[in-house]
Chains A and B, each alone.
Chain A
Amino acid sequence: MRAIGTWFRGLVVSWSRGALRSATLLRLMELTYFSLAIFGGSLLAGCLGALTGLGGGVVIIPLLVLVFHTDLRYAIGASLVAVIATSTGSAAAYIREGYTNVRVAMLLEVATTIGAIVGALIAGMTNKLIIMYIFIAVLFWSAISSLRETKHAGPQEAADPLAVKLRLNSTYPSKDGPVPYGVQKIPAGLLVMFGAGVLSALVGVGSGVVKVIAMDRLMRLPFKVSTTTSNFMIGVTAAASAGVYFHRGQLDPALCGPVALGAMAGSWLGTKVLVRAKTRALRIIFAIVVAGMGVQLLIRALTGKI
């Protein structure tokens, strides 16, 4: 009994010592604590990313920069890996539900991947602080746009002849059987998607905000179709820029490994909740988290601590 007591006390002491060290020395900590903490944080980010369809990036980067004092270039590389893991991890479940429109995804990926290569090239020539300010802008934009009500496409207007030609119109499942929908404004959608690709590569996020907006507002896809199709495309876009970042040494296994594992576990949890979750409540949670981190990063950037 006493042996257990001593062992337990030893455990508490060593744990609290470890926790104290983690709290004060997060910038230089033991690999085991570091990995576990990063895994936990990425799990949360992956869950939120899958739930909102916006990818884990907008949460992973502030987490790495603010809590783990990681250089922005490492954070961007790790975030891209998380974004891909989240996308692949949840895509399978989404396809089974029947919301994802693979044709729309593939067509738009032409634009996003070209954008991603361009973005990665620009990132190589751009000052770190500028990239940070762009990222902060993306954070606030994500927060605001997730609060705004999206107008639902509702009954279709005249079908876009281009969508018919490209066979993009499809149906999504509902309680009353498949509901048909049409796709609008394809050239405008492609243009916005190119921009989404550039942004994704430049700041290491999935650019889900841009993608969902393009698909909700411009192309008029139903909300769950645009969310899941966007989540699906995000991985392909991020893979295009991750290739470039790998060659630049921005992907470190000790950072990307736990981040990828956490994001996978999180996105798996996230997709389990999706079908029942209320999208409104999700958006509010997302907005609060993201805006809070945006403020913190802005303070850091302005005080020259980035």
Chain B
Amino acid sequence: MGEEHNGPGHGNIPTHTEEPGLSHARILELRLARVLVYGITTCAVILLISLIATLLRDGGKSVSFREFHPERSSTSMREVLDGVQAMEPRAWLMLGVLLVILTPVARVTFSLAAFAKERDRLYVFITLIVLTILAYSFFFGKV
């Protein structure tokens, strides 16, 4: 054991704290893990509260998804954000869903910063490509 643990580039030690002996890459990974936990927890709280609010208001109504009605759901960020401002429970629920979808995008963005900090040009470039493709889907997704 022992000697390999503190060597540079051997950062895969199963630990939950950022000890000084950890490799740089490992510290970045652990930070990424923490960002993901915060992100998903925020999403869960928003989803839970807005789901309860939606059920308190519309809980007794009948729902059916048997037929596809694209006009029933909001299809633009603007529409959702307007509803969020008006404290519309359904819009808040949709916001929670959109935030869930954005967690992987946040992860990619974080990795970009992490690779940049490591001065890893190759992976900064690779991560930028992934981020561009994701941005394309969110901004030009209407096809």
The residues of A with any CB-CB pair to B shorter than 8 Å are 27-32, 34-35, 64, 68-71, 73-74, 80-81, 84-85, 87-89, 91-93, 95-100, 102-103, 106-107, 109-110, 113-114, 116-117, 120-121, 124, 166-167, 170-173, 176-178, 235-236, 238-258, 260-261, 264
Q: Is the CB of B107 within 8 A of A91?
A: yes
**CA distance in complex: A135, B123 (Å):** 34
Give the shortest distance, in Å, between B25 (CB) and chain A (any CB).
Answer: 8
B34 part of interface (Cβ distance < 8 Å): yes
Bin chain B's interface residue count.
35 or more
B81 part of interface (Cβ distance < 8 Å): no
* B residues near A121, Cβ cutoff 8 Å: 143
Known contacts A260-B43, A260-B97, A96 near B10 by CB under 8 Å = no
Q: Smallest CB-CB separation from B135: which chain A residue?
A: A243
Give the shortest distance, in Å, between A237 (CB) and chain B (any CB).
Answer: 8
Question: CB within 8 A of B137: which of A73, A84, A98, A241?
Answer: A241
Question: CB within 8 A of B102: which of A92, A239, A241?
Answer: A239
Q: Smallest CB-CB separation from A172: which chain B residue?
A: B12
Q: Smallest CB-CB separation from B2: which chain A residue?
A: A177
* B residues near A249, Cβ cutoff 8 Å: 69-73, 75
Q: Is the CB of B104 within 8 A of A31?
A: no
Give the shortest distance, in Å, between A100 (CB) and chain B (any CB).
Answer: 8
Question: CB within 8 A of A173: which of B13, B39, B63?
Answer: B13
**CA distance in complex: A221, B124 (Å):** 23
Q: Is the CB of B103 within 8 A of A88?
A: yes
Q: Is the CB of B72 within 8 A of A27?
A: no
Q: Is the CB of B93 within 8 A of A253?
A: yes
Q: Is the CB of A173 within 8 A of B107?
A: no
Q: What are some 12 contacts across the A-B interface (CB < 8 A)? A: A31-B63, A74-B65, A84-B104, A85-B40, A87-B104, A96-B14, A98-B11, A236-B104, A239-B101, A247-B75, A261-B47, A264-B100
Q: Is the CB of A239 within 8 A of B134?
A: yes
Question: CB within 8 A of A114: which of B34, B36, B55, B133?
Answer: B133
Known contacts A87-B104, A247-B75, A253-B73, A95 near B66 by CB under 8 Å = no
* B residues near A248, Cβ cutoff 8 Å: 70, 75, 141-142
Q: Is the CB of A106 within 8 A of B58?
A: no
B76 part of interface (Cβ distance < 8 Å): yes
B119-143 interface with A by 8 A CB criterion: 122-123, 126-127, 129-130, 133-134, 136-138, 141-143
Q: Is the CB of A178 within 8 A of B103?
A: no
**CA distance in complex: A119, B91 (Å):** 28
**CA distance in complex: A189, B55 (Å):** 46
